[in-house]
Structure 1
Amino acid sequence: MTSMPTRFDEALIAHGPTPEYPGRMHLFGQMVGSWTAKGSRLDETTNEWIARDFIWMVEFVLDGRAVQDVEIVASTTHPSGCETVATALRVYDPFAGAWRVSYFAPALGEYCQLVATPYRHGVRQEGTRTDGRPIRWNFTAITPDSYKWEGWVSADEGATWQLISHNEATRIR
């Protein structure tokens, strides 16, 4: 009998994708690693774009059946000098043939549920924002060393879409 892990990270983080469906795991598995990202987010109350830099770390979790990420920003108020501001858990659902995505950003009050599928040469995630409006998050231009990401929201049930966030990232690990 092998010994059970005693640390949370040992129990959560997997060494790679599940062997059950490794091809399907590639959709988000290709993002596993660490990335430095530059982006901007629209402040919908002032209609001003706010620049932001962050580190995005991605790992296989749950015995390789899911991919989880964390978003980290520099912080002058946090003792460590950085703050983890968001996480997303992307779990492949073999019965639906799609990924179920749960996103959490407690300090911003954002909690989103989405479904992700391959889209053109990237990934489309569609779902609902905390305020009930439809959202679309697209990964595009994915290469082994870079990607682009856009966040869209609709105020009219998907008839039209407004860009509210854009990131471009470069792999650092």
Structure 2
Amino acid sequence: MTTLTKLTNDFDFLTGHFDVAHRVLQPTGEWKEFTGTCTGRTHFDGGVSIDEARFAGGYGLSLRLYDPADENWTIYWVNSRTGKLQPPVRGKWTDGVATLYGEDDLGDRMVPVRLRWTDITEETAHWEQAYSSDGGETWETNWTMDLTRRTTEPPQLDLPKVTGDFDFFVGSWDVLHRRLVSPLTGSDQWREQSGSTSEAYTLFNGAVCVDEVTLPADGAHGMTVRLYDVAAGAWSIYWISSRRGVLEPPVHGGFGADGIGVLEGPDKHEGRPVDVRFRWTTGDVPVWEQFFSVDDGATWESNWTMTFTRRGV
């Protein structure tokens, strides 16, 4: 088991279940009020915070990543209607207040946005969003959330299930790693390692899948966030290392009629541009495999497999 050094507890207060009172500013200048819930958890011993918000008509997901290099947080938002990452905000905590800045996509234009977390207690918290129309000189608050801890899990939403592609992966796993020691060198020397574990769960009733895996050989943990793009009918998969606290370039794709998942995208290996392919086989013992290509996909070299065996079975 790989034990991480705890670098931050900034968002540990969001672990658990909450009732949420929303207020959203309308174009008329009036405020619309409604209620919802959220459930939060952390990964990387506090270095990643995820919460799923539930409200009438849909889900929302906040993904927060702590960068130990500059002690800043990067926060992404995902709406279940699209399944796409929205542009991030970045910032940090000072004197008990988190302030983060970025741009929000309103469809026809981008606007400066500021998010704040304040009034944090063991049972309550306050969040607000503001837009600026003058380049950040002044800000108008347009959405607030007041959170109050609850003792029970929130009820499920009565919404159609969009996909169950990764439902097979929910649970606890022992993981056998097999990695090519020197990819793209012609070497066929592989290293095997056991003693790794993974915990996986879904959100958005299956349209988001998250897992955290221990990587004893690297002295680190890895985390995968999978988002189902509703319009495209495909998955985008992002990798996060506990060493960096940033989203790596995604791969995109899906599962065929044969039940095999294939996803591809561009990346770099040791500074060299590569195309990356992920391949998933399901069943009682799922296997994930990674390939690199340096000839635009004409040929692929396998360099890493993870074989998953369900724990406690």
Q: Which TM-score band (shorter chain)?
A: 0.7 to 0.9
Please give the alpha-carbon distance, in whole angstroms, between the structure 1 residues aligned to 2:309 and 2:236: 25
Q: How many residues are paired up?
A: 163
Answer whether contact 1:68 1:87 (CA < 8 A) is retained: yes
The reply to whether residue 29 of structure 1 matches residue 167 of structure 2 is: yes
CA contact (8 A) 1:13 1:59 kept: no
Equivalent residue runs for 1:49-128 within 5 Å: 49-53=190-194, 54-61=196-203, 65-74=207-216, 84-107=220-243, 111-119=248-256, 120-128=258-266
For residues 89-125 of structure 1, give each alpha carbon's deviation from its aligned partner in whole angstroms, at most 9, with x where no partner exists. Answer: 1011111111111112254899231113113222112
The 8 Å contact of residues 267 and 274 in structure 2, kept in 1 or not, is answered as: yes
Q: Which moved more, 1:156-165 or 1:97-106?
A: 97-106
**Helix, strand or coil: the match of 2:296?**
coil
Q: In the aligned structure 2, how far is the partner of 1:110 from the partner of 1:49?
A: 27
Contact between 1:18 and 1:64, CA under 8 Å: does it hold in 2?
Answer: no
Change over 3 Å in CA distance of 1:161–1:19 after alignment to 2: farther
> Identity across aligned pairs (percent)?
21
- Confirm or deny that 1:147 pairs with 2:286: yes
Q: 2:296 matched to 1:135?
A: no
Q: What one-letter code is carried by the residue in structure 1 that aligns with 2:19?
A: S
For residues 197 and 287 of structure 2, the distance between their equivalents in structure 1, rounded to whole angstroms, comes to: 14
1:78 — aligned with what?
none
Distance 2:157 2:305 in 1: 31
Checking the alignment, whether the CA contact within 8 Å between 2:285 and 2:307 is kept in structure 1 is yes
Q: Secondary structure at the match of 1:30?
A: helix
Rounded to whole Å, the distance in 2 between the matches of 1:96 and 1:149 is 23
Higher relative contact order, chain-length normalized (CA < 8 Å, sep 6+): 1
| Higher-Rg member (1/2) | 2
Q: What secondary structure sits across from 2:290 in the alignment? A: strand
- Distance across 1 between alignment mates of 2:294 and 2:175: 27
Q: Residue 80 of structure 1 corresponds to which residue in structure 2?
A: none
1:64–1:36 CA distance, 2 compared to 1 (3 A): same
By percentage of residues, which structure has more helix? Answer: 1
Distance 2:200 2:210 in 1: 6
Which 5+ residue runs of structure 2 have no aligned equivalent? 1-17, 21-36, 43-49, 54-152
Per-residue deviation, residues 20-63 of structure 1 (Å, max 9, x unmatched): 45251x11122111111112111226733121222121111367
For 1:147-166, list aligned pairs within 5 A.
147-166=286-305
Change (3 A) 1:95 1:3: same
TM-score for the superposition, normalised by structure 1: 0.76
Measured in 2, the distance between the counterparts of 1:91 and 1:110 equals: 13
Q: 2:260 touches 2:279 (CA, 8 Å); kept in 1?
A: yes
Conserved in 1, the CA contact under 8 Å of 2:175 and 2:308? yes
